[in-house]
Chains A and B, each alone.
Chain A
Amino acid sequence: MSVDQATVRRIARLARIAVTDEEVPHLMGELNAMLSFVEQLDEVDVTGVEPMTSVTPMAMKKRADIVTDGGYPETVVANAPMTEDHYFLVPKVVE
C-alpha cells in the first residue's frame, strides 16, 4: 500500500494541518516509508485470529453513576483565547 500526493493533501486537510505544495512530495515519501515498514506484518498468517484492540488481558474499569466532577467553569475556560460569561468564544461557524 502506498499513498499519492492527492491522498497526502486530503489526510492533511482532514487533520486540519496546513501543508504547503513544496512539503507534499517529502511527506509522501515519509508516509510511504512508514507504510512499507508496517507492511512487514503482512507476512504473518493471522487467519482465524480475532483483531486485538488492547494488549492488556483485563476487564474495562467502570465508574458508578455519581456526580463527582465539574462545577469549575473558570478552570475549564482558563486557557481559552477568548471567553465571555464562561463560554468559549470562537470565530462564527454557522452553516
Chain B
Amino acid sequence: MNAIVDTRTLDPKKLIKGATGDWEVIVGLEIHAQVTSQAKLFSGASAEYGGEPNSHVSLVDAAMPGMLPVINEECVAQAVRTGLGLKAQINLRSVFDRKNYFYPDLPQGYQISQFKSPIVGEGEVIVDLPESGGQITVGIERLHLEQDAGKSLHDQSPSLSFVDLNRSGVALMEIVSKPDMRSSEEARAYVTKLRTILRYLGTCDGNMDEGSLRADVNVSVRRPGEGFGTRCEIKNVNSIRFMGQAIEYEARRQIGVLEDGGSITQETRLYDPGKGETRSMRSKEEAHDYRYFPDPDLLPLEFTQDYVNELARHLPELPDNKKARFIKEYGLTPYDAGVLIAEREQADYFEAVAKGRDGKIAANWVINELFGRLNKEGNDVATSPVSADQLGAIVDLIGENVISGKLAKDLFEIIWTEGGDPRQVVEARGMKQVTDMGAIEKAIDAVIAANPDKVAQAQAKPTMIGWFVGMVMKETGGKANPQAVNDLLKTKLGI
C-alpha cells in the first residue's frame, strides 16, 4: 500500500457549515466493476446476468471437493485494458490470494482476490465537474481481479435464506481510488467518468441496475487544514444518485457526532435509500480478519510487456482524447464536447452527422434538438427515429440556405414522426426557403404600403425593423430568408 497523500488544495466553496465552524468532507471509493466476459474468472460457466437459479454454476463455482480454478485469459486482458484506460501502471507479475470469510453465498469459504500484488497499480482519472465547474484529477490506488460471490434472497421465507450461485465466480475488477474527492458532486462525477471509460473500453457494461457496477464509499470529515479523520465505509451502493445522498448524510452525521464532543469509530455502514440515512451494520468484532494468503491452487499471473503493448495498440479512442479531438476538429465548446462524448454511441452519432459538415451546427442539432427530444421520450440514440443520415441532410439543407432554421425544426418534427428523406419532404411540402429576391421584395412592398404609420416609427426608431421582418415572414409563410428580408428592409426603409 502506498502512503495516503493529500493531493488537493483546500477549496472554501466545498466546505460544509457546521454549528461550530466549517468542515471538509473526504471521499474515497472502491468500485466493483463486473468484467465483460462470456465465462467466469476461474470456470467455464456462463457469466451472463440472471438465468434459472444455479444454472450458471460449474462444480468449481460450487466449490465441490477437488475442483481446481483455471483463469480465463480474456478477464486478464480486460483488466489490463482497463488499467491502460486509467493511465495506470500494469504489473507484469501479480498474485492471487485467498480472502477467508464465512457466508452461505461463498461456498469456497474464501474469495480468490489479489491482495499484496494486484494486476494494476497507480493511475489517474480526470473528472469534469458539471455543476460547480472546473476539473479535478482523482488518483487510482490499484485495480485487482477477484471473484464475485453468489446471491442470497432473504425475503422468500421467514426462517430461511435462498442461495443462488449464478454470480459466484464471475470476474470483478475492484478499482480503488485515492481519497481525492472533497464533495458528493466530485464523487458522483468520478463514478460517472469511470463508468464512461469502462463502457468505451468494453470491459464493463456499467449497468448499475443489474449490479455490474457497485461502490463502497469511504467518508470522513475534518476541520480545514487538519489531517485525515477516521472514516466510515458505506457498503454496496448501487446508484450514483444514492451515493451522493449517502455521502451528504454521512458527512452531516459525522459532523454532528464530532461537534457534540464525540468521536467517530471506524465501521461499516449501509445506506437506506427509503429513509435517506446510513446505519451501522451490526459489527462482528472479527469480521475484518480475512487471513489473506497466496492461493496454492494458482500460479502467479505473468505476462510480457509485448502482450500489454499489443492490447494497448487495439484500445479504442478514450473519452478524454475524443473530447480533445472534437474541440479541435469540429470547433466545439468543451461543454458540448463533454456532453457528446459521455456515451460512445452518442459520440459516434454526432460524428456521422458532423462528417464533412459544420461541426458547431451539427453539435447544436444533435444536443439541443435530438438529445432534447430523445430525453423527453425516454429514448436513447440507439433507438432514435431520426437517423444520423437524416439529421445530416437537415443540417445540409440549412447550410445550403434551402430552409431556414425555423422551418428546419418543423422538418425535424416531420422526420421524427413520419420518417422519410428530408430533401424529398422539403420538395414535396413546399418548405423551401424563398431566396428569390423579387418575391421577397414584393412581400416587403406590400407590408410597407399597408403600414405607413409603422414606417415612420421605424425610421425614428430603427429597432422597429424587427416588427417588419416578422410581418414579411408571415406574408411569405415563414419561407423567406430572414437575413435577406432584414437587409432589403433596411434599404427600403432607409435605416
Complex Cα distance, B76 from A94, in Å, reads 34
**Interface-side segment among A23-31, A35-43, A52-60:** A52-60
Q: Find out whether the CB atom of A93 lies under 8 angstroms from the CB atom of B72.
A: no
Does A59 lie within 8 Å of B286, measured CB to CB?
no
**Which residue on chain A has the smallest CB distance to residue B299?**
A60
Whether the pair A88, B163 counts as a contact (CB closer than 8 A) is yes
Those of B277-329 within 8 Å (CB) of chain A: 281-282, 286, 289, 291, 294, 296, 298-302
B45's partner among A58, A67, A84, A91 (CB-CB below 8 A) is: A67
Q: Is the CB of B38 within 8 A of A58?
A: no
**Are B286 and A10 interface neighbours, CB within 8 A?**
yes
With a cutoff of 8 Å between Cβ atoms, the chain B residues found around residue A64 in the complex are 72-74
Is A71 an interface residue when CB atoms closer than 8 A count as contact? yes
Choose among B157, B282, B300 the residue that contacts A60 (Cβ–Cβ < 8 A). B300
Evaluate whether A60 and B55 lie within 8 angstroms (CB atoms) in the complex, with A76-B165, A91-B159 already known.
no
Complex contact B71–A62 (CB within 8 A): yes
Q: Is there contact, CB below 8 Å, between B161 and A94?
A: yes
Q: Which residues from chain B contact A62 at a C-beta distance below 8 Å?
A: 70-73, 76
Contact of B300 among A13, A53, A70, A86 (CB under 8 A): A53
A63-B39 contact in complex given A71-B55, A84-B162, A93-B152, C-beta closer than 8 Å: yes
- Pairwise interchain contact A93-B104, C-beta atoms closer than 8 A: yes
Is B70 a contact of A87 with CB atoms below 8 Å? no
Beta-carbon nearest neighbor of B153 in chain A: A87
Q: Could you say which residues of chain A place their CB within 8 Å of the CB of B38?
A: 65-67
Q: Is A19 an interface residue (CB 8 A)?
A: no
Query: In the complex, what distance in Å separates the CA atom of A90 from the CA atom of B44?
Result: 26
Taken together as a complex, chains A and B put the C-alpha atoms of A73 and B153 apart, in Å, by 17
Residues of A within 8 A of B493 (CB): none
Contact residues in B for A73 (Cβ distance below 8 Å): 52-55, 57
B55 surroundings in chain A (CB, below 8 A): 70-73, 86
Per-residue interface assignment for chain A, residues 68 to 86, with 1 indicating a CB less than 8 Å from any chain B CB and 0 otherwise: 1111110111000010111
**Do B44 and A63 have beta carbons less than 8 Å apart?**
yes
Residue of B nearest to A94 (CB): B154
Known contacts A62-B76, A86-B52, A86-B54; A69 and B37 CB within 8 A of each other = no
CB distance from B117 to the nearest CB of A (A): 10
The residues of B that contact A13 with a CB separation of less than 8 Å are 286
Which residue in chain A gives the minimum CB-CB distance to B165?
A76
Binary per-residue interface labels of chain B (40-80) against chain A in the complex, 1 for a CB within 8 Å, 0 otherwise: 00011110000011111111111000000011111110000
CB-nearest residue of chain A to B116: A51
Q: Are A14 and B286 in contact (CB under 8 A)?
A: yes
The total of Cβ contacts below 8 Å across the A-B interface reads 138
- Which residues of chain A come closer than 8 Å to B37, judged between CB atoms? 65
CB-based contact A14/B299 at 8 Å: no
Contact of A59 among B57, B100, B158, B302 (CB under 8 A): B302
- Asked if B160 lies at the interface with its beta carbon under 8 angstroms from chain A, I say yes
Nearest-neighbor residue (CB-CB) of A62 within chain B: B73
Give the CA-CA distance A89 to B43 in the complex, in Å. Answer: 24
CB distance A58 to B100 under 8 Å?
A: no
Please tell me if the beta carbons of B70 and A70 are within 8 angstroms of each other in the complex: no
Say whether A65 contacts B72, CB under 8 Å: yes
Residues on A with beta carbons closer than 8 Å to the beta carbon of B56: 70-71
Give Cα A51–Cα B479 distance, bound, in whole angstroms: 81
- Closest Cβ of chain A to B307, distance in Å, is 12
> Complex Cα distance A16/B37, Å?
35
A95 at the interface (CB under 8 A from B): yes
| Residues of A contacting B159 in the complex (Cβ-Cβ under 8 angstroms) | 91-92
Contact indicator A89/B161 (Cβ below 8 Å):
yes
The CB with the most chain A CB atoms within 10 A, among B58, B60, B165, is that of B58
CB pair B160–A14 under 8 Å, yes or no, is no
| Minimum CB–CB distance for B50 against chain A, Å | 13
Counting CB contacts under 8 A, is B141 at the interface? no
Residues of A within 8 A of B61 (CB): 70
Can you report 25 A-B residue pairs in the complex whose CB atoms are below 8 A from each other?
A: A14-B286, A53-B294, A53-B296, A60-B298, A60-B300, A61-B70, A62-B71, A64-B73, A66-B38, A66-B44, A67-B46, A69-B45, A70-B43, A70-B57, A73-B53, A73-B55, A73-B57, A76-B59, A76-B62, A86-B52, A86-B54, A86-B55, A87-B163, A91-B161, A92-B154
Closest 10 CB pairs of A and B: A65-B74, A68-B44, A70-B45, A69-B44, A69-B58, A60-B299, A73-B54, A62-B73, A88-B163, A87-B162
